[in-house]
Each structure stands twice: as C-alpha cells, then as structure tokens.
Amino acid sequence: MGKIGGFLEYAREIASRRPVRQRIRNWDEFQLPMSPEKLKLQGARCMDCGVPFCHYGSQVAGMTSGCPVYNLIPEFNDLVYRGLWKEALERLLKTNNFPEFTGRICPAPCEGSCVLGINDQPVAIKMIEQALADRGFEEGWIKPGPLKRRTGRKVAIVGSGPAGLACAAQLNYAGHSMTVFERADRPGGLLMYGIPNMKLDKKIVERRIRLMEAEGIRFVMNTEVGKDYPAPRLIKEFDAVVLCGGATKPRNLSIPGRELDGIHFAMDFLKQNTQHVLDGGEGPRISAAGKEVVVIGGGDTGTDCVATSIRHGCRSMRQLEILPKPSSERPADNPWPEWPKTLRTDYGQEEAADLFGRDPRDYCVTAKAFAGDQAGRVQDVLTVCVEWKRDEKGRFAPVEIAGTEKVHSAQLVLLAMGFLGPEDTLLEGLAIERDERSNVKVASGKYGTNHPSVFAAGDMRRGQSLVVWAIHEGRGAAAECDEFLKGLSNGPSAGKEGSTQTSST
C-alpha cells in the first residue's frame, strides 16, 4: 500500500494535456509528464484494501475488470510513494513486457476495479505505470537482457502487434531463436499503424523494437505469410509457429451509396496518416483537409479518426454513435468492480468541442444511406434516430424512429465500427480450424490449434480486444509453446519475468 490514510489526504490528480489549439498543430504526444513529487502523492493514495481487485484481470458482465497481465499494482504504488523507483519498475516488469505502451493507451480497467473507486476517485495507476517505464529508459535501467544459451529450437511469430511482440520476448527469454514476420514496412502492428502518433509516439515503439533486436529477435518486414511466404513453409522451417495476426477484417456498412468515393475504413485512414508522419513527402491520399467529416462508430478508433481529421484541418466534424449516451454517474445496474459505463470525453472529442463549439457525438443515431455528386463522390449522409428495444428473443436491438431522418453534408466518411475477425488467407493455408466467430479455434484457456506445432494468441484467438489482453495472450501462448518445445516450461509463463532486464548499477 502507499501511505496509511493517504487516500484521505490527497485527491486524485492526473497529468495535464497540452492546450487544444497548440497540440492540434502537430503530431506530438499531447499528455504532459507529471513531477516525481506529485506522482509520489498519487502512489500514497493506494490504500490497504485487503483484497486488491486492481491486479487480477477477469471478465465481469462481459467487460474487463482489473489488470489482465496481473500487474503488482499495490506493490509498485507503495514503492513509488517511498521513492524507490527502480524497485517499483522491477515489480512492473515482472508481469508487463511493455509498460511504456499500456501506460499510454490502455483504458485502465485496473482503475475501474480500484477499491477506492467505490466511493471516491480511484488511484491514478495508469499514469504511474507510464512514468515508471519512461524513467526506466531515461535512467538506463531498462536495457537488453543477457542472452541465455539457446535451445536450438526455432519459432516463427506471425504478426508483430502487442501479442506477437510479447510472445516473441517471452520465448526469446526462454532461449529459443525467434523470427517475427510482419506484412507492413515497420514492426509494431496496431501499435505502429493503428494508433496515431499523438497518442503513442512511434519513437517509443521503435525504441522497444531496437531493444528486442539487441536481445536477438529477428524481424522480417514486408512479408505477408500465406502470400509472399507460403504458409506450409513455416511448418517445415520452424519447430513451432504462433499466429498473432490480429482481428483485422473491418466491419462494413452495407447501405445504399457505400460504393461512393470518400468512404473509407478507419484503419486505412489512420495507417496512411502515420506513414505520412513517419516518411514525410506529400500528404496522405485520404485527407480530411477542408472537408466536412462524418465518423461512424465510437470507441478509441473513432476518437483517433476525429483527432486525426482535426489535425488535417477538417471544416466540420460529426461522430455517429448507435448506442445511447452513457450517464455521468455509474448506473445502479453497473456496480463495482464492473467497468464503469459512464460518459467519458476523450482527447478527440475535447478537441472537436473546442474548435467547433460542440461535442461531435450524436447518440442513438445510425447511417441509413449515402448520397453522392455526379462525379461519384460522397456528398451527404442520411441518418435516422433509433431506440433500443427487446426483440422476440429478449435481446436489445436498435429500432428506427419514424420521422427522425436527417441529411448531413459530408465529403469524407470514416467507418470505425470495429472488426469481425482474422483474415482468411493464412488460416486457410495452414488448415486451421475456426470457431463460430471465425477466430482461431482452441480449447478453453489454451492456445494450441488443431495443428500440433501451431499456436494462436491475441485478437486472432479471442476476437477484438484491448492491447493489455493481447500482451496477456502473447505471454500465455509463449508458456504453452515453450512447454511443447521442451516438454516443460519454467520460463515465460504469464506470471514470470519477461526478457527486458533492469541494470544492476
């Protein structure tokens, strides 16, 4: 715990953000660091709660509660309060391979299940986690781990997103020779091209990749397994394969006018923009500059589309959300330690409200059709309001409200409605069985597929989820794969220390 009674003395405080009108001029991270003195006081708020729900991740009422990688949160909060930063970082690295990522982009389900949150503001866990990781790199505490004697076994990881990176790091720590395949031109998967630079600076991702390379992990870029590299070849050349390709098949919106130019999937828009930020040159092909933009879908991806469009210089912004507007207070049917279903205003909505005078989100609204001009470019979005009613099977479903149709002018429409599952080529090439949701089929709590030397982890196995769950999955698959290769596993389990070491100086 932190300080006895500290939660009674100190209020929750989170890091400040750069002013909206300043930060929208560039792609730099918008969150400002907090001083060690203030972080110490935030660590002091961690209470002696007896049973800390924060550090055990599980699904409660269909939502994540607690930390999926089982971070030792009360321990590192206490150490930060006592000024023992390096020791706090060592606790964090025992369970989390990449705290510099989760400290920035995780929605912090640990805070949603913080015991203090029952009747007060929870401990600022996520902010402390980021500060620990950043200080670890600044002080030189985080460095490549010592290379152990190799086992002589070779493992291929397909996909270099958070699941693939975590799996590769853990299996490398166990002594296996690791090769990570990535179809893009840079490693990182979702971390590199799915999340904008102002939320996760790509230098942070590149720094981690360089560290992993120094630890002996090999990255093969611009190679799509199943197309550029025959899938059966993996089985011949490697002793084991772990599939971490993600759930990258976007959910489409099949309504009249979908074929018009100017309607794009969110990830195509975000990837092009990040490539432009990294490579320079002419602007991205999909640009929001000077356009009226409609984003269809909420969540983090929708927010990222809003913020990216604003930095392009869009003329207006509207975000359509089919779900009802959440309440400002935790509903009675949403008790702790469930994830609180409350209204949140993320950085993109904050920026839109500052620029255009209103929160861009319209709730209980769906797009009904698109209309275009004579050149075949999208010009308008026809919307209708919905109400949620139970169907004949007792499930809630949206029902259109007659007479609520509206037309919104738009020259760019971005579809941010989530993902349906993994793509087919690789899985078909390896004859991998799928479940009813099209994800890789595995036994409950396991990572092995119908092929004895092939494993799966991350969104490809569990469906679209959080980055922190992907790290959990990568670590779990590594433990199972290691056991397959050795006949036992005493290294890379979900609760064991990962590959990155802190220095002894």
Mean pLDDT of 482-505: 58
Provide the pLDDT for residue 381: 98
Structural domains in the chain, sorted by start: 6-143 (1.10.1060.10), 154-248+420-502 (3.50.50.60), 252-417 (3.50.50.60)
Fill in the DSSP letter of residue 261: B
Q: Tell me how many degrees the CA angle 186-189-190 measures, rounded to the nearest 5.
A: 130
Amino acid type, 138: E
Asked whether the beta carbons of 57 and 40 are under 8 A apart, the reply is no
Provide the pLDDT for residue 491: 53
How many residues in total does the chain contain?
505
d(CA 356, CA 495) in angstroms, rounded, equals: 47
Name the average pLDDT for the chain: 94
Residue bearing the bigger pLDDT, 145 or 489: 145
Mean pLDDT of 194-218: 98
Provide the pLDDT for residue 495: 38
d(CA 89, CA 497) in angstroms, rounded, equals: 12
Provide the pLDDT for residue 8: 94
Residues 75-93: tens digit of each pLDDT: 999 999 999 999 999 999 9
Residues 256-309: tens digit of each pLDDT: 999 999 999 999 999 999 999 999 988 889 999 999 999 999 999 999 999 999
Provide the pLDDT for residue 394: 87
Looking at the predicted structure, is the pLDDT value of residue 504 above 80? Answer: no
% of the chain residues with pLDDT over 70: 96
Q: Which tokens sit at 256? A: 């009249």
Provide the pLDDT for residue 232: 92
Q: Which residues pair with 452 in a beta bridge?
A: none
Looking at the predicted structure, is the pLDDT value of residue 336 above 80? Answer: yes
Residues 426-449: tens digit of each pLDDT: 999 999 999 999 999 999 999 999
The pLDDT-based confidence of 465 (bands split at 50, 70, 90) is: very high
Provide the pLDDT for residue 490: 57
Looking at the predicted structure, is the pLDDT value of residue 503 above 50? Answer: no
12-26: buried (b, 16+ CB within 10 Å) or exposed (e) per residue? beebeebebeebbee
% of the chain residues with pLDDT over 90: 91
Instruction: Tell me the three-class secondary structure of 2-68, residue by residue.
Output: CCCCHHHHCCCCCCCECCHHHHCCCCCCCECCCCHHHHHHHHHCCCCCCCCHHHCCEEECCEEECCC
Provide the pLDDT for residue 428: 95
d(CA 7, CA 122) in angstroms, rounded, equals: 9
Asked whether the beta carbons of 99 and 133 are under 8 A apart, the reply is yes
Rg, C-alpha atoms of the chain: 23
Residues 133-162: tens digit of each pLDDT: 999 999 999 999 877 789 999 999 999 999
The pLDDT-based confidence of 489 (bands split at 50, 70, 90) is: low
HSE-up of 40 (CA within 13 Å, CB side)? 8
Asked whether the beta carbons of 117 and 336 are under 8 A apart, the reply is yes
Asked whether the beta carbons of 309 and 319 are under 8 A apart, the reply is no
Whether the full predicted model's pTM is greater than 0.85, yes or no, is yes
The pLDDT-based confidence of 501 (bands split at 50, 70, 90) is: low
Looking at the predicted structure, is the pLDDT value of residue 413 above 50? Answer: yes
End-to-end CA distance of the chain: 27
Looking at the predicted structure, is the pLDDT value of residue 482 above 60? Answer: yes
Closest CA to 243 of 37, 496, 478, 504: 478
Mean pLDDT of 361-368: 98
Residues 114-138: tens digit of each pLDDT: 999 999 999 999 999 999 999 999 9
Instruction: Tell me the three-class secondary structure of 416-482, residue by residue.
Output: CCCEEECCCHHHHHCCCCECCCCCECCCCCCCECCCCCEEECCHHHHCCCCHHHHHHHHHHHHHHHH
Mean pLDDT of 62-86: 96
d(CA 261, CA 462) in angstroms, rounded, equals: 33
Secondary structure of residue 272 in the 3-state scheme = helix
Mean pLDDT of 88-112: 97
C-alpha torsion 474→479→480→484, nearest 10: 130
